[in-house]
Chain A
Amino acid sequence: MKHLLSAADLSRDEAVLIIDTAAELAAVTDRSVKKLPTLRGRTVVNLFFEDSTRTRISFELAAKRLSADVINFAAKGSSVSKGESLKDTALTLEAMGADAVVIRHGSSGAPHRLANSDWIQGSVINAGDGTHEHPTQALLDAFTLRRHLRSGAGDLSGVRVAIVGDILHSRVARSNVLLLKTLGAEVTVVAPPTLMPYGVESWPCHTSYSIDDVLPDVDAIMMLRVQAERMQAAYFPSSLEYSRMFGLDSARVARLPEHAIVMHPGPMNRGMEISADVADSPRSVMVEQVTNGVSVRMAVMYLLLGGMQEEI
């Protein structure tokens, strides 16, 4: 495997290998010196066309813990950056000898273009492209699910996960549906019909328009950020109605099975898709998701950049 572009590219065994590797690498975080020499002398570029401080620092920390040289390239400015700039930026990075490019881009498919063009030779890691995918988020979610629900080993056979929110615009939902299915989980996406993608019935998951219907039968519930701007485009009438019908509050949490965990990829809209008391409750594993994100991204870089031969 040279690139990580889509969760669909991962077989069950590859996904398990990444998560297993992440678990081993997580141990490093517990040492006093949190650093491995694995990627010494390699250059990782964080190429971010969209603002995303949390994802960027997660990748940055992951690369640094593997001793890679890290360059952060924030291509801000115009909201839709011109195509020329992606190509020219890529050529520049190539000329500087980037071994891996971690790309976040507002245009779906931009990482595919980068990987399949002749612009660069290095590995491409998709850190979120438009409304398409965010595979490392799905991997860290799978890692978190496995830790809580499968004692940190094997795959996710039989784990029931509901993903609730703006499925239509969510790259997190797309990657999770694909990856969790690959790992044997049973996924239900929950949203008002306007926020379901066209053709969702052919996705490898169940669908529901009611969070209340699914609550009693899940092992984990993943709440997605819903942007208030969607209201202007008539996806739903008001934030209040959305919150009332799809928000996770403590009354709804009480109807979850005892062992079920609450997840959120962040950033949260407290009071919109999730109430503050739920976000801060012991059922919530959001802070741990952030920690696991670093381990999973270390594992991805470690495996993609061929660090396999060396000792951990």
Chain B
Amino acid sequence: MTLVVRGVRPYGEDAVDIVVSDGVIVELAPPGTAAGEIVDADGLVALPGFVDLHTHLREPGREDAETVRTGSQAAALGGFTCVHAMANTSPVADTAGVVEQVWRLGQEAGLVDVRPVGAVTVGLGGERMAELGAMAHSAAQVRVFSDDGKCVHDAVLMRRALEYVKAFDGVVAQHAQEPRLTENAQMNESELSGRLGLVGWPAVAEEAIIARDVLLAEHVGSRLHVCHLSTAGSVEVVRWAKARGVQVTAEVTPHHLVLTEDLVATYDPVYKVNPPLRTAEDVAALREALADGTIDIIATDHAPHPHEDKDCEWAAAAMGMLGLETAFGVAMETMVVPGRLSWRELAQRMSTAPAHIGGVRTQGHELVPGAVANIAVVDPEGTYLVDPTKLASKSRNSPYAGRTLPGRVVHTIYAGTPTVLDGALA
């Protein structure tokens, strides 16, 4: 079967017909010339399918919030062709058995590559290293290891994990949060937290761990990935480490690129997230760092929660926000529309680099003949009105309800097969 994405502009450049056969791009033909099953994309922009390095799919354990299938649907609608499922499930993804289960559920859903992330420590307990090798050599071929939600705060354990994963070219993705400095923390520590009477999550609790970890990574010659970097100070630390040649990569979430702590004054827990929303100065620094490459990628930290875990008072609420279906729109609004990133740079930040960090060989390819046909087709002129009741995700905790985001994901093609056509699941 031959699929033709007709009249599309790869990276916003000259229009072509992208010809796909057997899951691979075989030709970039002059627009309107190729024959086959036609996907109309006249004037739209083609990018390599997005790769999310940080997704919570909640299965196994919290199928009331999300399943691998519903999360895959949300991902496809957001233009993603690959997601990395975080390990903080129940049971925790700390054995080959659990990661294989998640991987298999992903295969069965068949909408995106679901790449399980393995826990660094048993049960995310921060005390004993999980069987990282078994997970790496399982059918799931885990390459990213993270205790996300918890910090690997023991310096020796972190050092060992960084060293150990070198054997199979893995990477430790650190949730940088010094636990003692953030006990019972509810929001960014600031003048506002003092006024609202909410326990503060100081920036230094993130920055101190990142500083320690880049030095550890340098010392043992390992790769380090920093999850959801959220402060201007963290940017400075990573910039410094990169200048020294440390093998460190970093991600920023869409919400940290656009939302600020002021929203917490509503006490609406839809804005409760970890790391917390920070200040406008932090947001500006994160955008700049994503533009100049200090921050390598956008990762959603898609964190579904059932309604009752958000429809309550602030302190009782769960932390986290949905992100898969709105990530592209936020990236458009904050980075592409203001001219901070070109289309090719956006493709780098949302597809190529995350695929590379995660060791996913079939993703993030440049849109040229020979590439696996993972393609997001977007309309830069379109808009997307966020209506949480219409999301594919099982949960509704989007902080963008009622907001109109620029750009629209029109089609998503996963390994040569359309998963989304005209903004709806194919």
Contact = CB atoms under 8 A, between A and B. Distances in A.
A22 to B, nearest CB: 25
B189 A198 contact: yes
Interface in A189-205: 197-200, 202-203
B192 interface: yes
Interface residues of B, number: 26
B197 A129 contact: yes
Contacts of A108: 186, 196-198, 267, 314-315
B191 A113 contact: no
Contacts of B189: 198
B311 interface: yes
Interface residues of A, number: 31
Interface in A78-136: 80-84, 86-87, 105-110, 112-113, 116-117, 129-133
A264 interface: no
B312 A83 contact: yes
B313 A83 contact: yes
B194 to A, nearest CB: 3
B394 to A, nearest CB: 19
A110 B190 CA distance: 20
Nearest to A202: B191
A109 B316 contact: no
B266 to A, nearest CB: 7
Nearest to B311: A87
Contacts of B198: 108-109, 130-132
A198 B196 contact: no
A236 B194 CA distance: 19
A130 B194 CA distance: 12
A65 interface: no
Given A109-B267, A112-B267, A199-B192, A84 B197 contact: no
B308 interface: yes
B193 interface: yes
Contact of B316 (A86, A112, A168, A198): A86
Taking each of A107, A109, A132, which has the highest tally of chain B beta carbons within 10 Å of its own beta carbon? Answer: A109
Taking each of B193, B195, B196, which has the highest tally of chain A beta carbons within 10 Å of its own beta carbon? Answer: B195
A80 B184 CA distance: 12
A112 B311 CA distance: 13
B191 A109 contact: no
B317 interface: yes
Given A83-B308, A84-B308, A112-B267, A107 B193 contact: no
A230 B75 CA distance: 46
Interface in B300-337: 308-309, 311-317
Contacts of B311: 83, 87, 117
Contact of B312 (A86, A106, A199): A86
Taking each of A108, A110, A129, which has the highest tally of chain B beta carbons within 10 Å of its own beta carbon? Answer: A108
A82 B313 CA distance: 9
B200 interface: yes
Contacts of A181: none
B193 A198 contact: yes
Given A81-B316, A106-B315, 14 more contacts: A83-B313, A83-B316, A86-B312, A86-B313, A87-B312, A107-B313, A108-B198, A109-B267, A197-B195, A198-B190, A198-B200, A198-B202, A199-B190, A199-B192
29 contacts: A83-B309, A87-B308, A105-B313, A107-B313, A107-B315, A108-B186, A108-B197, A109-B196, A109-B313, A110-B313, A113-B267, A113-B313, A113-B314, A116-B268, A129-B197, A130-B315, A131-B197, A131-B199, A132-B197, A171-B197, A174-B197, A197-B193, A197-B195, A198-B189, A198-B190, A198-B202, A199-B190, A199-B191, A199-B193
Top 6 closest pairs, chain A to chain B, by CB: A83-B312, A199-B191, A132-B197, A109-B267, A197-B194, A83-B316
Interface of A: 80-84, 86-87, 105-110, 112-113, 116-117, 129-133, 168, 171, 174, 197-200, 202-203
